[in-house]
Amino acid sequence: MEAMSTSVPIGTALTAGTAGTAGTAGTAGTAGAVGYAAVAAQILVVVAGAPLLTGWMRQVRARLEGRAGAGVLQPWRDTRKLLRKESITPVGTGPAFRAAPALLVATTVVAAALVPLLSTDTPVSSHADLIVVVALIALGTFALALAGLDTGTAFGGMGASREMTIAALVEPTILLSVFALSIPAGTTNIPAIVSGAAHEPARLASPAGLLAAAALAVAVIAETGRIPVDNPSTHLELTMIHEAMTLEYAGPDLALVELGAQMRLTLLLGLLSSLFAPWAIATSGSWAALAIALVAFAAKVCVLAAVLAAAEVLWAKVRLFRVPELLAGSFLLALLAVAASYFLNGAGS
C-alpha cells in the first residue's frame, strides 16, 4: 500500500506562475508570431466561417430535399440586413436581456481561441483546458436562458426552462467523455490530447476513442440544438426550445444571437474534428503548416456538417420528454468509454 507514495514530486494543488508565461503542458510552448496568427485565424475562421457553414448545411439539405436552396452566402446576407436595422428594446426587459447576445458571442470567441482548431502551438495552448471550454459554452447557454426569462413572456420562460433541462442532462455526458479522452493523454489540456492523438492514431481507433466520439457527438447535437433534440427552423410553440428564448430579439441583437448560435455549431464541430480527426493540425510554428491546417479544418468541418445535414433530412425531431432517453444513451456510451479507456490503458498503471 505504501509502495508508491511520497516519492512522487508534487507542487501541491495550487502552483504559481506569472500569468503571461506560455508554459508547457504537453506541447512545446515556443509560440512566436505564428502562434498569435494561429489564434487570430481560429477566431476569424469561426466568426466569418460560421454563417457560411450554416449556409452550406442549408444548401446540402435543400439539395437533398430537391430544392434549389438560397445559396451558401444567404446567412451572411441575413446578418448584414439585421445589422443595418435599428436596435429594439422590448418594454420591461433589463440588462440581462441586452447583454446576453454579446456574452453568447464572447464565450464562443474565447473558446475558439482556446480550442486547437488550427494549431496546438499557440500562446494560449497551455491554458486550453477542456473543462474550461465546456464551461464557457455552458456560460453562453446560461446567459441566454436568463435573457429568455428576463422578457417575462411565456415563450421566453418556456424556452429557458427546456434549454436548461437539456443542458443539465448533457453535462454528465460531456464531462465523462472529457474523462475518457484525458486518460490516455494524462491531462485535460486539449492541445496535449490532440497532439498525443496525432502522434498515436491507434488511440482514436480504440473502442474508448470510438465510444467517446459517439457520446460527444450526441452531446454536441444537443448543445447546438439540432435535430433530433431541437429544430432550429421551427417556430411552433410546442416544439421550440432555442428559438423560444430568443423570440424577442430583433435587429443587431438578433444578428448577434444567430451568429452566436452558428459560431457554437462551428466551434463544436471543429472541436469534434480536432479531437477525433487531428490530422493536419499544425503542431509547430510554421506558416505553411498553418495554411494547410486552415484548408484541412474547412474540409473536415464541411464534411461533418454535410453528414449532420443529411442526417437531419432523414430524422425527425423527437418529443421533448424523449430527449432524456437519448441523452441517457449517450451517457452510457461515455461511461463505457471511460471503462474501456481505463482497462485498455493497463488498469491504471
Q: At 225, give phi and psi (nearest 5°).
A: 65, 45
The answer to the question of residue 246 lying near other proteins (CB under 8 A) is no
Give the range of 30-38, 149-157, 227-235, 267-275 binding other proteins by CB under 8 A: 149-157
Distance CA 66, CA 139 (A): 38
Give the range of 23-31, 62-70, 282-290, 294-302 binding other proteins by CB under 8 A: 23-31
Using CB under 8 A, count the residues that bind other proteins.
108
Quickly count: other Cβ atoms within 10 Å of residue 315's Cβ.
Answer: 12
Give the range of 57-65, 207-215, 247-255, 270-278 binding other proteins by CB under 8 A: 247-255
Considering the complex, state which of residue 248 and residue 312 has its C-beta at the smaller distance from other proteins.
Answer: 248
The answer to the question of residue 236 lying near other proteins (CB under 8 A) is no
Q: In whole angstroms, how close is the CB of 86 to other proteins at the nearest point?
A: 4
Distance CA 23, CA 246 (A): 40
Considering the complex, state which of residue 3 and residue 33 has its C-beta at the smaller distance from other proteins.
Answer: 3
Q: In whole angstroms, how close is the CB of 331 to other proteins at the nearest point?
A: 7
What contacts 324, CB < 8 A, 6 or more positions away? 169
What contacts 136, CB < 8 A, 6 or more positions away? 107, 108, 110, 111, 114
CB 141 within 8 A of CB 295: no
In angstroms, the Cα distances linking 344 to 63, 208, 214, 293, 336 are 43, 8, 18, 31, 12
Q: In whole angstroms, how close is the CB of 100 to other proteins at the nearest point?
A: 10
Return the residues of window 184-203 that contact other proteins according to CB under 8 A.
186-189
Phi-psi region of 27 (alpha: psi -120 to 50; beta: other; left: phi over 0): beta
The answer to the question of residue 31 lying near other proteins (CB under 8 A) is no
Return the residues of window 56-85 that contact other proteins according to CB under 8 A.
83-84
Please identify which residue in 42, 120, 122, 151 interacts with other proteins, judged by CB under 8 A: 151
